[in-house]
Amino acid sequence: MAKKTEKNFEELMFENRERLKELAAINKTTSIIKENKPVNDTIQHICLILPNAMQYPENTEARIDFGEFHSQTQGYDKKHKEKLEKEFSSIDNISGKISIHYTQKYPERFQGPFLVEEINMLDNVVSLLTGYINSYKAKQVFNTYQSNKFDIGTDKPISGSTGMQLFEKYLYRQNYDRDIFHDLMPFKVKEILLIATLYDAYSIEKEGRFAEHVLGEYQQLNLSSFPRITGVSTEEEALLQLQQKHFDLVIYMVGADLKTPFEICRKIKQEYPYIPVYFLVNNKSFNHELESRGTNNCFFDKIFYWNGEPSVFFAMVKHLEDKVNVDNDTRLALVRVILVVEDSPRYYSRYLPLLYSIVMEQTKRIIDDVTTDELYKVLKLRGRPKILLASNYEEAMDLVNKYSEYMLCMISDVKFEKKGKTCAKAGFHLVKSVRNQLKDLPIIIQSSDIENAAKAYELKSTFIDKNSETLTADIRSFISHYLGFGNFIYRNPDGREIAIARTLKEFETHLRNIPDESLIYHSRRNHFSLWLMARGEIQVAKILGNKKVSDFETPAEIREFLLRIIQQHRNEKNRGRVVQFEDVDYFEEGNIISLSPGSIGGKGRGISFINSLIYSFDFNTIFKDIKIKAPRTAIIGVEEFELFMSRNELWDIALNEPFKVLAKHFLEANLSNGLIKKLKKILKMINKPIAVRSSGLFEDSMRQPFAGIFETYLLPNSHPDYDTRLQQLADAIKMVYASVFSDIAKGYIESVAYKIEEEKMAIVLQEVVGNQYEKYFYPHISGTAQSYNYYPIANMKPEEGVAVMAVGLGKYVVEGDRAYRFSPVYPKVEINSMKDIIKNSQVEFLAVDLGKHDINLLEGDMAGLKQLDIWDSEKHGTLKHCASVFDPDSNSITAGIDKNGPRIINFANILKYNYIPLASTITTILQMVKESMGSPVEIEFAIDLNKDEDGHASFYLLQIKPLIGDVQDYEIDMKDINENQILLFAEKSMGNGRIEGVSDLVFVKNDVFDKTKTMEIAKEIEEHNKRLGDKNKKYMLIGPGRWGTRDRFIGIPVVWHQISHAKAIVETDLEDFPLDASMGSHFFHNVTSLSIGYFSINSTSKSYIKWDKIHTQKVVKDMKYTRHVRFENPIDIRMDGKKRIAVIQENNEQDN
C-alpha cells in the first residue's frame, strides 16, 4: 500500500512538473509575441524555447517552417519518423508547421512518446503564433492602405509615391543651400537614405538646427562636398527610393517603435545586402534587446545611440568612410590612424563624435600657413587621421598589424571579448601586444573602474575615467598637439595682419571697419567667397563669387553690398531655427534665440519644432484667412542649469532640504554674468508679460511623460524700474530651477523609475500672447487640441480629435477648469446637453495682473496672475465672439451677447458661424503635426481675435507634445467574460491591453463623500499612494467626479505625485455630482503616456461597478473619506482600445 501511494505521489509530481513546463512554454511564447519583433525573429525565438517544454528537453529537437523560412535547433533531423507535428496557415495562405522529435527512444505515452499535455501545449503555441502572424500581416495591409498622406499644399490626399512628403519637404527647406556642394568634388558617401518619422529626425537633429549640426561638420571642417540625404518615413517610400537610385548608406532612426525598423531593414538587406544599414536609437528601453542581438544578423550593420549630441550622425558617416578608405589613404598619402577599441555601442556612440570633433577642429589649423593655394587647403584637410573602431581583441590586433606604421594613437577599453569570451583584462593584454611592436605609441586606457588606473600607468599609458566630468578636455588635451586649426585673417596689401575673424559674426564686424585697401585686396582674390564657402555659407558665397571688383564704382559700394547680402542671407537662414544670441540683432517671431549652450529640453524642443514647421512650410500660404504664428521665444540651454548648481554649491541643499528652504537658497544664488548680460538685452526688446517655462530633458518627450510637474511663471514685466524687472526675471528662472527638486517633482520622478539627478533643466522665455485691457493682459482664447479623442459621441470618430477652449490664459485649460469641449471636425455639434453646458460654462478666467509690480514668486505660479469674473471680459470687450446668452423663457441659447441674460461660453460665433476658420485650422494643424511626429499629438494654442491689416486674426501655436496610449490591438469579447466575476464594466475608457498583478483598490466612500472636502480626500489618497509605493505595489483608484481638476468642486484635485502608483483610475458620478468626462491637459498627458487605464462610470450609461463585491474584500486601511481594500487574488484589468471599453474581473480561479 505504501509503495502504491509512493508511486501515485511520484506520478502526480511528474504530471505537475510537466504541466509547469508546458505552462512556462505558453507564457514564454506570449512574452516573445509581446515584444512585437518581425515574424521571422519571433519564429526563431519560439523554436528555441520549445525543447524545454517537453519531457526530455536534453534530447529534444524542434523546427518551425513558415513559407520559405525555417528555423530549427542544432540537431533536428528531417528524416526522423516519430514526430509531434502541427500545421497552420496565415491569412494570406502561407503554410507553416511546427515539428518536434526526440533523439532517443522513449516509452509510449498518449501519442507515441508524447503526452496529451504536450499535444495541447503545441496546439496553444500554434494558436498564439498564428494569431500574431495574422495580426502582423493585417497591420502591414493597413499601413499600405494608410500610405496616402495629406499634402500640405492641398486639401486632397496624395499617394506616398507622388508629391513631396512632409519629411522630404522639411529636409528640402533645411538643405536648400547645401545641395550646391554635390557638384563641387567627389565624396565617398554621396547618397544617404534616412528613414525616420519627422519628429524622431527633428529630435536627433538638435532641435531644428539641422544644417549646422548634421551637415554642418562638413561645411565648417571638411571643406568638401556633402552626402545628399533623402528622407522617407515608410517602407514603401524606402523601397521605392532604393529602386530608383543607388545609396551608399541607410540610416534608420529608431524612436518609439522597434518592430517596424527590423521589418523594413530585413527587407532592405534581402534586396540590397551590400548597402550598410546603421541604427540610430533614441530609446533607452531598447538597449538590452539591440545589444543582445549584436550585429551578427542580417538586419543592420552597426548600432549607434542618440546621446544628445547631433554630431553622432556625422560620426556614423565618417566611421563608414574611414573604414572603407583607410587602405587607400594610408598607402597613397601616409595618413595617420587612430584606433578606438570599444565594444559597447553606448560608449562608442559617445567617443566617435567626440574624436571626430576634435580631429576635425584640430586638423583645420594646418591650413593657416596655406595662403595662396585654396585647393591645397582641401587636400590638407583630406589628409586628416582616420579613426577606426574595433570591438574585440582579435579585430584590434588585426588593425594594429595592418596599419602599424601609420598608427597615431590608440584608445582602448579594458573589458571586451578575447577568443570569443568576455575578458576583464583584454585591454591590458592588447596594450602589451601593441607595445611589442610600437614601443612609443601614445595610448589611452579608458575605464569606468578607477582601480584600473594603476595598471594603465604601469603599461606607460594614460588613464581616463569614463565617468570623468572633464572627459572631453582630457581627450582634447591628449591629442591636440598632433593636429592644427585656422581662421579668416584680414590683411593689408603687404600681407600684414589687421584682424582675425573666428566666426561669421566677427567676420561681419571686422568687415565694417577694415580699411578700403584691405577690402579691395581680399575682394580681388575672392577670399571672402572662398572662406564663406568653406564655412558652409553656400548661397552668399555663390553670390559673392559671381561679382567682380570692377562691377562697383567705389569701395564703399563693395562694403555695402557685402554687408547687405550677408545680412539678408542670415535672416533667411535663421527663420524657423534656434539661433545663437550673438547671431541676431533683433528679437523676432521668425526664430528662437539660444541664450545658453546645451540641450533645450523636451518642451523647448517641441516649441522650436513648432517654429521650424511654421517657417519651413510657410503655414500662411496654407491657411488663407488666419495667421499662424509662434510667440517670440528665447531658450536657456541646460549648461546654465549645471553651471548654476555647481558654482553656487546647491546640489547638497537641493537633494536634502525641504522645498521652502531650498527655494530661498536658489533665490539667493547667482546666474552667470554671461546670461545676465543677454537677459538685459532681451528684456529691453520685450514690453509685454513674459512666460518663464520649464523645459526638462524628459518634459513632454516621447515615452517620457513629465507634463505639468515643473513650474511656469508668468511675469507682468510691468514694474517701472528696469533693474527690478531684470531681477524678477532672474528670480523666476531660479525658481524654475528649484522646481526640479520640489516634493511633487521628486515624488513623480521616483514613481517613474528615474533619478532626480538625471533631470536637467532648460528654460523657455516666451512673450505672452494677448493684449492689455485696463491693468490686465490676456488672449481672447486659449486652448488645447488632441488628434485622438478618447471620448467620442454620436458619429464622431476617435481619430478626428477633440479640442478644449476657454477665455483668457491657457493655465485655466491645462489644469482642468471649466472649459468648452468640441470636435474640430463637427464644431456645430454640442458634445454635452444644454443642462450640462449651462452648469459647466466658464464663469472665471485668468489674466496677468499688470498692476502687480512687486511679486513674490514663493507664492507659486499664480504670483503674477489674477482670477477675474467672466463679466470683466465683457467689460473689456473681449467676450463678443466667445459667448452666447441663455434665455430661460424659451430654454434656448443665442449666439452673441446683445441680449440680457446669463453668458454661456461656447464660442458660437466662431465655431458655428465661422467668424474665423478656427475649427478647420485646428483640424489641419493636428493632421500635419501628427504626421510630422509619427504619433497622436496634443497642441496648445492661443488666439488673438484682433485682425491685422489684411483682416486676419492670429493663431499662436504655443506647444506640441506626443500622446502615447492609442494602440488598438487588444480586443475584449464579452462572450468570453464570466459575468459573475465582473467587478467593473466601462463603456468609456482610455488605454489598451491587459494589466495584471494588481491586488489593491483604493476608493472614495460614497456614503460619506462631501464635495466641499475634496482637498482632504486628495490628502488621504496621497497617504495611500505613498504607503503602497513604499511597498512597490500598484493599485486601482475609484472616486467621484473629475480626477486632477483644479476646480475642487467638480472632482478630486489631486496632483500627479499623489496618485503616481495607480495603474487604473476610475471616475464615477454621484447624485448632484455629475461626471464631466474631461480633465486637465497635463494630467491627461501623464495618464496616456504611462499607459494607465482611465475609465468613466456614468450611472446613465451601461457602465457599472459591483460595489457589493468590493465591500466584501479585506480592509487594509480605513480612513475618514477613503478605504484601501485588498483582493485575495490579483484582479484582471482588460482594456479594448478600439471599442473603448474596459472590464475588470475577479480572479477566483487559476486562468488557464
Q: List pLDDT tens digits, range 193-250.
A: 988 877 776 665 444 444 445 555 554 444 445 677 788 888 888 888 888 888 889 9
More confident of the two residues 1080 and 916: 916
Q: Which residue has the higher pLDDT, 487 or 1023?
A: 1023
857 shares its domain with 730? no
Q: Are residues 221 and 343 in the same domain?
A: no
Question: Do the beta carbons of residue 43 and residue 69 sit within 8 Å?
Answer: yes
pLDDT digits (tens, 9 = 90+) for 1081-1129: 556 656 655 668 889 898 878 899 999 999 999 999 999 999 999 999 9
Between CA 887 and CA 898 the distance in angstroms is 12
In this prediction, residue 410 carries a pLDDT of: 92
**Are 1005 and 1131 found together in one domain?**
yes
Best CA proximity match to 149, nearest among 198, 104, 107, 106: 198
**What 3-state class would DSSP assign to 819?**
coil
Phi then psi dihedrals of residue 842, to 5 deg: -60, 130
Instruction: Write the DSSP symbol of residue 623.
Output: -
- The DSSP line for 546-614 is T--GGG-SSHHHHHHHHHHHHHHHHHHHHTTSEEEGGG-SS--TTSEEEEESS--HHHHHHHHHHHHHH
Same domain for 598 and 745: yes
Q: Same domain for 34 and 133?
A: yes
DSSP class of residue 385? P
Alpha carbon distance 126, 120 (integer Å): 10
Average pLDDT of the segment spanning 603-608: 84
Please report which residue ranges of 1054-1149 form alpha helices under DSSP H. Answer: 1081-1089, 1107-1111
* DSSP-derived pairing of the beta strands 802-807 and 988-990: unpaired
pLDDT beyond 50 at 506: yes
The reply to whether 828 and 754 lie within a common domain is: no
**Helix/strand/coil percentages in the chain, nearest 5:** 40, 25, 35
CB 173 within 8 A of CB 617: yes
pLDDT in tens, 440-483: 778 899 888 888 999 999 998 889 888 887 877 777 767 654 43
User: Max Cα separation, the chain?
Assistant: 122
Residue 1037 region, left (φ>0) first, then alpha (ψ -120 to 50), else beta? Answer: beta
* CATH number of the domain within which 69 lies: 3.30.450
Estimate to the nearest angstrom the gap between the alpha carbon of 244 and the chain centroid: 32
| Whether residue 515 has pLDDT greater than 50 | yes
Is 3 among the domain residues? no
pLDDT for position 9: 53
Q: How many CB atoms are located within 10 Å of the residue 1041 CB?
A: 24
Q: Which cell numbers in the block locate residue 998?
A: 494588481
717 inside domain:
yes
CA distances from 715 to 33, 81, 694, 731, 1149 (A): 52, 82, 14, 10, 59
Does residue 66 sit in the same domain as residue 132? yes
Alpha helices in 896-1013 (DSSP H): 908-911, 918-933
- Residues 129 and 160 both lie in one domain: no
What region, left, alpha or beta, does residue 578 occupy, with left being phi > 0 and alpha being psi -120 to 50 degrees?
beta
- Give the pLDDT score at 870: 93
Domain count, the chain: 7
Strand residue runs (E) in 843-992:
844-849, 865-869, 883-887, 892-895, 903-905, 937-944, 953-962, 982-986, 988-990
Distances (CA, A) of 685 to 118, 591, 733, 852: 77, 14, 18, 21
What is the rounded CA–CA span in Å between residue 611 and residue 589? 9
Lookup: cell for 748: 513623480
| Cβ–Cβ under 8 Å, residues 575 and 524 | no
Kindly calculate the radius of gyration of the chain based on its CA atoms and give it in whole angstroms.
33
Are 340 and 348 contacting, i.e. CB atoms less than 8 angstroms apart?
A: yes
Query: Residue 833 and residue 521: Cα distance in Å, rounded?
Result: 79
Q: Identify the pLDDT of residue 432.
A: 95
Q: Which residue, 561, 492, 503, 513, is CA-closest to 537?
A: 503
> 958 with 988, same domain?
no
Write out the residue range of the structural domain in which residue 436 sits: 334-485
- pLDDT for 546 equals 79
The per-residue pLDDT for range 333-358, each reduced to its tens digit, is 557 788 999 988 888 888 888 888 87
**Percent of the chain whose pLDDT exceeds 90:** 30
Beta strand 1093-1097 pairing with 1062-1068: parallel
Question: What secondary structure letter does DSSP report for 877?
Answer: T
Alpha carbon 1027 to chain centroid, angstroms: 32
From 655, 619, 741, 759, select the one nearest 701 (Cα to Cα).
759
pLDDT score of 7 more than 70: no
**Shared domain check, 1089 and 1127:** yes
Distances from the Cα of 187 to the Cα of 158, 250, 382, 552, 1063, angstroms: 35, 16, 11, 37, 54
Q: Please indicate, yes or no, if residue 86 is contained in any of the structural domains.
A: yes
> Domain check: are 27 and 112 in the same one?
yes
Q: Cα separation of 581 and 674, whole Å?
A: 11
Q: Which three cell numbers stand for residue 385?
A: 587621421
**920 inside domain:** yes
Q: Which run of H or of E encompasses 70? A: strand 69-72
State which of 485, 516, 542 marks the end of a domain: 485
**Structure letter (DSSP) for residue 426:** H
Q: Which residue has the higher pLDDT, 561 or 476?
A: 561
Amino acid at 174: Q
* Interacting residues of 105 by C-beta distance below 8 A, sequence separation 6+: 113
Give me the CATH number covering residue 424: 3.40.50.2300
Listed range (23-37, 697-711, 934-948) with the worst mean pLDDT = 697-711
Which pLDDT score, from 0 to 100, does residue 196 have? 84
Residue 324 included in any domain: no
Q: Of 195, 202, 200, 280, whose CA–CA distance to 236 is shortest?
A: 195
| Together in a domain, 669 and 554 | no
* CATH value at residue 745: 3.30.1490.20
For residue 177, the model assigns a pLDDT of 42
Q: How many CA atoms lie within 13 A of 824 on its CB side?
A: 27
Q: What does the DSSP 8-state code read for residue 502?
A: S
**Is residue 279 within 8 Å of 252, Cβ to Cβ?**
yes
Q: What is the mean pLDDT of the chain?
A: 80
Residue 969 lies in a domain: no
Q: Show Cβ contacts of residue 244 under 8 Å, excluding neighbours closer than 6 positions.
A: none
Q: According to DSSP H, which parts of 575-715 are helical?
A: 601-616, 619-622, 638-647, 651-656, 659-668, 673-685
E-state strands within 1042-1152: 1062-1068, 1093-1097, 1104-1105, 1114-1118, 1122-1136, 1141-1145
Report the C-alpha gap between 724 and 37 in whole angstroms: 58
Q: What is the pLDDT of residue 556?
A: 92
pLDDT tens readout for residues 717-763: 999 999 999 999 999 999 999 988 887 777 666 655 566 666 788 99
Which of 103, 124, 144 represents a domain boundary (last residue)?
Answer: 144
Residue type, 788: Y
Among residues 728, 751, 768, which one ends one of the domains?
768
Q: Which of 1074, 1080, 1073, 1094 is nearest to 1144 (CA)?
A: 1094
Distance CA 38, CA 505 (A): 51
Query: Per the domain annotation, does 584 fall within a domain?
Result: no
The pLDDT value recorded for residue 96 is 92
How does strand 1035-1040 pair with strand 1062-1068? parallel
Asked which of 699-708, 829-838, 994-1003 is least confident by mean pLDDT, the reply is: 699-708
For residue 1, tell me if it sits in a domain: no
The predicted model gives 403-424 an average pLDDT of 89
